[in-house]
A and B are shown apart, each in its own frame.
Chain A
Amino acid sequence: MAEYIAMALITTGLIFFIAGSIGLLRLPDLYTRLHALTKADNVGLGMIVLGLAIISGDLITTFKLLLVWLFVLASSAASAHLIAQRARRRERGLWKP
């Protein structure tokens, strides 16, 4: 029973990752790509972490997995901000229709 829930969660995470990757490839400019990438990948990683935590069943492993998710959240948010700020400062990256 728990394995099926975990499988569903991991598959949902994969779908979010696919959505983020398609957004990275298809969206027109830097800012929209950053938005799609960070939001979709963070939620996707969160789903995968939840699924893995259910499979592991161990409290320490769950705690470590949640720590990993926290670090990825923070660092991807900070780096997305820095990339966007740098592009804004040089006034690059906007899509001209």
Chain B
Amino acid sequence: MLSVQMIYGLAGVLLFTFALRVALSQVAFLRRVLAINVAGAGLFLVFISAAYKGAGQPADPVPHALVLTGIVVAFSATALAIALARRLHRPSDDD
């Protein structure tokens, strides 16, 4: 009854909600960035497990393309967030 899709999808839901809770409650900035990345991983897990069609046939490629785009965009968003935080916390200089 518990198919492969379901257990991996539920694992993704668990990851996402737990990481969301950590992202909302932690104080240190890098911890929140880490938690957002793990939450993103949980989301991708839900996508790909919905795209899995069994051991015999090839998986649905459209969610694969979406997740591939998502991985790259998540990295660039993380880099931008870290740069923004460093700019905010830099002691003020007149430039």
Please say whether the chains A and B touch (CB closer than 8 A): no
